[in-house]
Structure 1
Amino acid sequence: MKAKADETTRVYLIGSGIANLAAAFYLIEDAGVDPQRITIYEQWDIAGGALDGSGDPEHGYLIRGGRMHEKHYHCYWDLLSHIPSYDDPDVTVYEETIEFNERYVSDNHARLLKEGKRVDLRSYRLSLQDQFDMTKLLFTPESELQRLRIEDWFSGEFFQTNYWLIFTSMFAFQKWSSLMEARRYMLRFMHLMPGMKRLQGILRTKYNQYHSVVVPLQQWLGDKGVRFELKTRVVDIDFDLGDGKKRATHLHLVTNGESRTLEVGEKDYCFLINGSIVDAPDEGDLKTPARLKGVEDSGSWSLWKKIAAKDPDFGNPDVFCGDIDRSKWYSYTVTLRDRTFHDYMEDFTGNLNGTGGLITLTDSNWLMSIVIARQPHFPDQPNDVKVFWGYGLYVDRVGNKVKKPMSECTGEEILRELWYHLKIEEMMEPIMQSERLVNCIPVAMPFIDSLFMPRAFGDRPAVLPEGTENFAFLGQFTEVKDDCVFTVEYSVRTAQMAVFGLFDCGKEPLPVYVGAHNPIAMMKAAAAIAE
């Protein structure tokens, strides 16, 4: 039975990713919870989870990754249509983003490169067998795809096609990733298929996603009175699981090494972001490789494992965090106090910075990709400083130029591998000789692809497990029918499901947009695949 919030209602939100930031918004605006009785606990010293952006021009900027945006993220845009932007309190984040993308339209002229040259993308190069296999997959129910990998369905030739090279680098799927999740992506983003070769229809924020999204959201919540307790880790949760009910009763917290226990009262609620794709990261620098960590270094995974042991309805975290060699990859952020590279790439690709997006080096053993965002990518970024981001999917393979795995490489070595593939080693050498002009920060992320691990029904808990009275799971490791993980839309939808499911708001979560449900989109996609 849904409850009505009153002046005594408290809500504890564990984790400060966008799922809980959105939940706090809906708790205030729709459930009527007093903002001063909402507390967000975050193990790190900064909010935002996977939507990050940090650093400075002197020591180098850092972006661990970026989440894709498109116009049919209805829950996400609903949220951001109420939040003032970073630069202008009279313009919402949604309005700012739409206006920005009207000026810098995504149309990538160099999506795939080989031997430093553009790959011909007039066709996805899918064989008739590949097309048949894709069509069959789309009409196969998820119940028949449990635990299956993509490579269990498609032939080896499929993984040499332009379609796969675009799909794997755009969404970070790998051959061993979940076939069930790949099918959801194909269905959900069917409307993007005709333009996917040039990233048409993809939207970007004005700045990095921390400054464009997280900072405005946190400012709005803070101004309302929401409390943020940073550097505070929730290490366990007690439950009353008798008589078919599920009720959180106590939170066990650690702040600055000091432990305490918090009672979850009769009218209190607890929302947990279970699991994290960016937990236990490690940063290297120009001269030092990043170091791979594990579950023992993670707060979110350790907490979920403890909780899951208490009730089978709380999911199976081991499926997602138990094989780091399959769930890891490394990213890198490059800061240049020189415009040579950016000027060259604008000339080479024909894309003004901010209109191209992801570029993948198909002959890279690491399958390296880079993204050149619109500059400045950080609000405090000087005009003479340029930033770009990149990542590698196959980090245990030996490089083509640098004869060691990417996972063992310094920032300098990663750059030398990149310059080699772009055929600009000689041009960039004077810049590489000066640490004042260049910095590259590699980041090891052991769980970044964990949400794509092959799974079965029940491995991800429901947002509101059966019998729950005051507790909800939020984020990427909950189950939302038809929607796609690794998207901000998924996280915000779980926030709506939790708040509107527990509180009598008179509202329901916005429906999932599935491109394949649009007949025109289906016909256009079929034509694109057959080219």
Structure 2
Amino acid sequence: MSNESTPRQDGSERDAYFVGGGIASLAGAAFLVRDSELPGENVHVLEKLDVMGGALDGAGSPEEGYVIRGGRMMNFPTYECTWDLLETIPSLEDRDKSIKDVMDEFNEAHQTYAIARLLGDDQDVLDVSSYDFEMEHRLSLLQLVLTPEEQLGDTRIEEWFSESFFETPFWHIWATTFAFQPWHSVAEMRRYMHRFMHEFPRLNTMEGIHRTKYNQYDSMVRPIRRWLEDHGVEFRGGCEVTDMDIVPGRDGKTVETIHYEADGTAETIDVEPTDLVFVTNGSMTDGSDLGSMTEAPELNTTGASFELWKNIVEDNPEFGTPSAFADHVQETKWPSYTVTLDEPDLLEHIVEVTGEAPGNGLITFTESNWLMSIVVAAQPHFANQPDDVKVFWGYGLFPEEEGNHVEKKMENCTGEEILEELCYHLGYLDELPAVLEDANCIPCNMPFITSHFMPRTPGDRPDVVPPGSNNLAFIGQFAEVPRDVVFTVEYSVRSAMMAVYDLMDVDREVPAVSTHQYEPEVLVDAAKAAFR
């Protein structure tokens, strides 16, 4: 990586540095290469871990067990920037097909129609064709949709709706689909209502959901990285950026130095005024820790990306309020778990109980004290997964509660204990000894997984390109992207496109955020669904 201090001769000789190796940085690097005159060899991605992809992860083997900290559901008409990117990147399997081509073929063959979205007592499939709204619930939802966001401030969801709202099938579906909690921002819920208004009538069946063929790391991250490496982009793992020298001047603020640590040694990168710096200021999977069948994961309370953001705003308070998101671990944490099966018996039992074929949707156990959910993806879910090995994923929204069967908080449980609790809810406890012989459940505690949903006020998230910034942009889930919704791949990709197009003066428009919520047919269908 060059630290030369000679003046840049033209735009094509400037360097671009991406801090963080998540999908926002990968997308930003791709937009630079694809849509600007910057050569790929001038683009550098700096990542603390040795693997790129951020929250879009997927790793493991049949012998050691597979791990995915989470899964990303996608919606075709509302992922405008993501499709713009993926339709131009060749897939790993066939360079004549784009990533989006492979996704389209997969989703055509595996169309979602959930029939067991919620399970009650004794594994009963609940009828969720009605959301069971009372009139006050409908009026509160309507008022929320119509209230301008700037009037909502840091109001919490539980302050907007009555207690009975949180007992409806709708809330169980909404909360476990999007991972909302009652104490989260009602302004974020409003954005979701607007962005996904067209999905409101079929949230119970998840018909609008699109998925990748494999986990997002295999299906998205690997092909994007290969394409970027083919164009000369440098990836530097084991590189933790800790601070930046941002110098004020008459024309605004300019990043002059990047401070980072590698192999325990403090290093710096000199940044020229014409260079560009893109910072992922915060990560939902920061501080994650994995457990095992016999050990519970730790619960960390700090993360490198948030610490960097805090260091930046010490001298630059106009760049947001990281504490609004990063200092509430008790409200932003939950655990997930990935189960690898050497024998298919447990998966076959899940199919029998739910009537759901693998790949058909999210299943939530409404009577679970942990509010457990599982997702059995179409198999295989990993590119290197043998046919006789099965994998599924799950999570719990109430990690501080004791289980119905296992008398421990979920966040303190080993993989074996989580499997035991799951088998209890599946009516499969008698077969637990056989399950434990053939299964590997790896739990993961994620302290910041819903931190982007915390109540916030204007300015808590910095603009993608802050006013007066000469060469610095913020990208990812904690930059402000008007009208779009966090906890989506689209939000990160859109922020990256906005940053690149602004700083590089790209002569191409960022695709507009869709406005389905204003279409008469969509509004009529949503109203009908509210009265089902």
**TM-score (norm. length: structure 2):** 0.97
Match of 1:287 in 2: 294
Equivalent residue for 2:98, pick from 92, 96, 99: 92
Q: Does 1:179 align with 2:186?
A: yes
Does residue 202 of the first structure (1) align with residue 209 of the second (2)? yes
Deviation at 1:490, TM superposition (A): 0.6
Which residue in the other structure is 2:322 paired with? 317
Structure 1 counterpart of 2:149:
142
Please state whether the residue corresponding to 1:382 is helix, strand or coil.
coil
Separation (CA, whole Å) in 2 of partners of 1:496 and 1:431: 46
The aligned runs of 1:55-74 (5 Å cut-off) are 55-72=60-77, 73-74=79-80
Task: Say which SS state the counterpart of residue 309 (structure 1) adopts.
Answer: helix
Asked whether the equivalents of residues 72 and 211 of structure 2 are also in contact (C-alpha less than 8 Å), the reply is no
By how many angstroms is 1:130 displaced? 0.2
Identity of aligned residues (%): 45
2:12 matched to which residue of 1? 7
Please state how far the C-alpha of 1:431 moved relative to its aligned partner. 2.1
Task: Give the aligned CA root-mean-square deviation in angstroms.
Answer: 1.2
- CA distance, structure 1, for counterparts of residue 11 and residue 255 of structure 2: 19
For residue 515 of structure 2, what is the aligned residue in structure 1?
514
Measure the CA separation in 2 of the matches of 1:69 and 1:93: 14
- The offset of 1:194, in angstroms, is 1.2
How far apart are 1:244 and its partner, in Å?
A: 5.5
1:256 paired residue among 263, 288, 302: 263
Q: Structure 2 vs 1, CA of residues 274 and 4 (structure 1 numbering), >3 Å: closer, same or farther?
A: farther
Residue 514 (structure 1) shift? 3.3
Q: Please name the residue that 1:337 is paired with.
A: 342
The reply to whether residue 481 of structure 1 matches residue 482 of structure 2 is yes
From 322, 328, 333, the equivalent of 2:333 is 328
Cα deviation digits, residues 135-164 of structure 1 (max 9, x gap): 011111111211110000000000000100
Question: Does the CA contact (< 8 Å) of 1:4 and 1:31 recur in 2?
Answer: no
Q: CA deviation at 1:347?
A: 2.8
CA 239–123 in structure 1, closer or farther in 2 if over 3 Å, else same: same
Superposed counterparts of 1:102-251, under 5 Å: 102-115=108-121, 116-243=123-250, 245-251=252-258
- 1:388 corresponds in structure 2 to 392
2:401 maps to: 397
Higher deviation after alignment, 466-475 or 417-426: 417-426
Partners of 2:180 and 2:97 in 1: how far apart? 36
CA contact (8 A) 1:159 1:165 kept: yes
What is the 5 A alignment of 1:410-429? 410-429=414-433
Q: CA deviation at 1:4?
A: 11
Shift of 1:5: 6.2
Q: What 5-or-longer segments of structure 1 have no aligned partner?
A: none
Distance 1:327 1:430 in 2: 35
CA distance in 2: counterparts of 1:469 and 1:173, whole angstroms: 36
Q: Which amino acid aligns with 1:99?
A: E
Deviation at 1:30, TM superposition (A): 1.0
Kept after mapping to 2: 8 A contact 1:138/1:187:
yes
Instruction: Write the distance in 1 (CA, Å) between the matches of 2:430 and 2:9.
Output: 67
Q: State the alpha-carbon separation in 2 of the partners of residues 360 and 241 from structure 1.
A: 51
Q: How much has 1:277 moved relative to structure 2?
A: 0.4
**Aligned ranges for residues 393-472 of structure 1 at < 5 Å?**
393-432=397-436, 434=437, 437-472=438-473
Aligned partner of 1:367 in structure 2 is: 371
Q: What does residue 78 of structure 1 align with?
A: 84
Whichever residue aligns with residue 286 of structure 2, its letter is D
**What residue is the counterpart of 1:492 in the other structure?**
493
Q: Is the 8 A contact 1:76 1:489 kept in 2?
A: yes
> 2: CA distance between counterparts of 1:84 and 1:478?
28
Cα deviation code 1:286-334 (max 9, x no counterpart): 0111110011xx2101100000122222100000011100010000000
Matched AA of 1:61: Y
Aligned equivalents of 1:240 and 1:518: distance in 2? Answer: 47
Q: Flag the 1:330–1:338 CA change in 2: closer, same or farther, 3 A.
A: same
**Inter-partner Cα distance in structure 2 for 1:184 and 1:68:** 17
- Whether the aligned pair in 2 keeps the contact of 1:4 and 1:504 (CA below 8 Å) is no
Higher deviation after alignment, 392-401 or 335-344: 335-344
**Which whole-Å CA distance do the structure 1 matches of 2:125 and 2:325 have between them?**
36
Alpha-carbon distance, 1:243 to partner: 2.6
Q: How much does 1:504 deviate? A: 2.3
418-427 or 388-397: bigger deviation: 418-427
- Give CA-to-partner distance per residue, 1:389-418, whole Å, 9 cap, x none: 000011001111001100111101111111
* Structure-1 residue corresponding to 2:383: 379
Give distance in 2, aligned partners of 1:140 and 1:347. 45
Q: Partners in 1 of 2:273 and 2:395 — Cα distance?
A: 47
How far does residue 503 in structure 1 lie from its aligned partner after superposition?
Answer: 1.2
Deviation at 1:202, TM superposition (A): 0.2
State how far apart, in whole Å, the 2-side matches of 1:5 and 1:152 are.
Answer: 54
2-structure distance, mates of 1:431, 1:415 = 9
How far off is 1:530 after superposition? 1.1
Q: Write the distance in 1 (CA, Å) between the matches of 2:497 and 2:41.
A: 20
Structure 1 CA distance for aligned equivalents of residues 251 and 9 of structure 2 = 22
Q: 1:245 to 1:314 in 2, by over 3 A?
A: same
Q: 1: distance between equivalents of 2:418 and 2:319?
A: 40
Letter in 1 for 2:16: V
- Please say if residues 350 and 426 of structure 2, whose CA atoms lie closer than 8 Å, have aligned partners that are also in contact: no
Counterpart amino acid of 2:403?
A: G
* CA distance in 2 between partners of 1:111 and 1:241 (Å): 54
The list of structure 1 runs, each at least 4 consecutive aligned residues, that deviate by more than 3 angstroms after superposition, is none
Q: Residues of 2 paired with 1:67 and 1:344: CA distance?
A: 25
Aligned-residue offset at 1:203: 0.4
How far apart are the structure 2 equivalents of 1:61 and 1:5? Answer: 47
Would you say the 8 A contact 2:44–2:233 is kept in 1? yes
3-state DSSP of counterpart to 1:197: coil
Number of aligned residue pairs: give it.
Answer: 523
Structure 1 Cα separation of the partners of residues 353 and 293 of structure 2: 26
Letter in 2 for 1:260: E
